[in-house]
Amino acid sequence: MKTSLLKYVPFIVLLISVVACNSTYTPKRKGYFKIDFPKHEYKVFEQPGYPYTFEYPVYASVLKDTTFFEDKPENPYWINIDIPRFHGKIYISYKEIGKNDLNKLVNDAYNMTYKHSTRATEIVDSAMHTPNGVGGVFFSVGGNAATAKQFFVTDSTRHFLRGALYFDASPNEDSLRVVNNFLQDDMKHLINTFRWK
């Protein structure tokens, strides 16, 4: 009796699967959450004793960098521009050229950017010179690199400042592209309003 029932099992499974699959399947496209961006508005960073000033977004805050790989930062003028709405930070480091060689600082900035070349699809560097007499280079890093936007500015005699945008998220170029592009405008505004004191 058992063997006669066993020969009907494949037909019963087929019948159940045909009856169960009578709804139409609609594939869903892969997508990301819609992000509502705030209006670009800025306020001035001008702290006493700091050798620089600039404008940064009103939806960000400037925090003094208190740690650098568990040590104190080597310079008291290192800051972070925290952008909590997007879980991002622009890390700013400052060095005096008199205590450091300008060529080494520039090479270090390029080397730190090109360390991302293993994950990057492209790295584009653009020389810039602002109306305030500030010169430097802006880097756009494509692909799933840890940072997509970096820059350095200098007066080539006394001051050197480097900035890099990082997110508290796994690097994903597709999902971060719109936020990177939005914050790139803020970074370029920071650079264009940047002045040495």
131 in a structural domain: yes
Number of structural domains (the chain) is: 1
Domain harbouring 142, CATH code? 3.40.1000
Percent of the chain with pLDDT over 90: 56
Give the model's pLDDT for residue 192: 95
The tens digit of pLDDT for each residue in 121-166 reads: 888 999 999 988 899 999 999 888 888 899 999 999 999 999 999 9
Q: What is the mean pLDDT of the chain?
A: 86
* Weakest mean pLDDT among 15-24, 167-176, 188-197: 15-24
pTM: 0.78
Whether residue 135 lies inside any domain: the answer is yes
Q: How confident is the model at residue 3 (pLDDT cuts 50, 70, 90)?
A: low
70/16 Cα distance (integer angstroms): 62
Residue 144 lies in a domain: yes
- The pLDDT value recorded for residue 145 is 83
Q: 7 in a domain, yes or no?
A: no
Look at residue 50 and tell me if it is in a domain.
Answer: yes
Q: Which domain holds residue 162?
A: 42-196
- Three-class SS string for the chain? CHHHHHCCHHHHHHHHHHHHCCCCCCCCCCCCCCCCCCCCCEEEECCCCCCEEEEEECCCEEEECCCECCECCCCCCCEEEEEHHHCEEEEEEEEECCCCCHHHHHHHHHHHHHHHHHCEEEEEEEEEECCCCCEEEEEEEEECCCCCEEEEEECCCCEEEEEEEEECCCCCHHHHHHHHHHHHHHHHHHHHCCEEC
